[in-house]
Amino acid sequence: MDGLSPTHILQHVNRLRAAVQYSNHNFSHQMRRFGAKFKITDAPREFARLNEDADTNFSLAQEYKDAMPDQTKKTYLQARQWVEDVIACSSGRELPGSFNTSVISQLFQELSNRWKILATLHVKRVANICLRFVREAVSRLACPDVYKNMKTFLSEKMQDRTDRAIAELEKLMYDQKKHPITYDPGYTNLVQEMRMRKQSAETQLFMQNGQSAGYEVREDFSASDALICAIAYYKVC
């Protein structure tokens, strides 16, 4: 890397492949850490696995760190209250203690409503890296007068490519708004594991207290279960 640190790669676009790859890595880690609309600050033990793949050892570039302040914080009780409100507004013919399947869709849509903004910014950053690279290459290959005349042409061509990339992103966002569906067995495994951990924690609380105060009423149970399903689905997407 000629002595360049990873944080300087984005400023040295003569290494286009390295700069784009580094930007993609930043975007991947940014989405894992800050992609969700909110983060539960005091999650119980059954939610522990949700943060396992958030590699905090990777140092984000500043432009990708800027997404952090926009992610709100919620306590577990606040998150569950949010789910209870959604369930109350979506109740239909489901039995007591269960929830309407459309609830998961609504919860996921709200959790992921920052995806489009973050993805669009990433597309524009990569497009800017490519434009800077092309300009640098042309400025070295062409005489100053030719390069001056080509600058506008290069910008227009890159803008056209950027617009097409964002149009493709819009198609992905359209699919993202459809009813949740997954064939990933990891979703089922994760939900089952989180439910088992939750049941284990409640059993331990019952054994310690010698009373059933630790068990949830039907509404609380359905809200907790819906939150588990929504976050597990978010994780595998």
Question: pLDDT tier at 93 (50, 70, 90 boundaries)?
Answer: low
Which pLDDT value is given to residue 4?
45
Confidence at residue 10, expressed as pLDDT on a 0 to 100 scale: 55
Query: Which comes out higher in pLDDT, residue 168 or 204?
Result: 168
DSSP 36-78: SSEEETT--GGGGGGGTT--TTS---HHHHTTGGGSEEE-HHH
CA distances from 28 to 33, 60, 70, 84, 235 (A): 9, 10, 17, 31, 13
Report whether pLDDT(1) > 60.
no
> Which pTM was predicted?
0.82
Q: Which residue has the tokens 């359209």?
A: 174
Those residues whose C-beta lies under 8 Å from the C-beta of residue 34, and which sit 6 or more positions away, are: 67, 68, 70, 71, 114, 118
Kindly indicate the confidence band of residue 142, based on its pLDDT and cuts at 50, 70 and 90: confident
For residue 80, what are its two tokens?
Answer: 């569950």
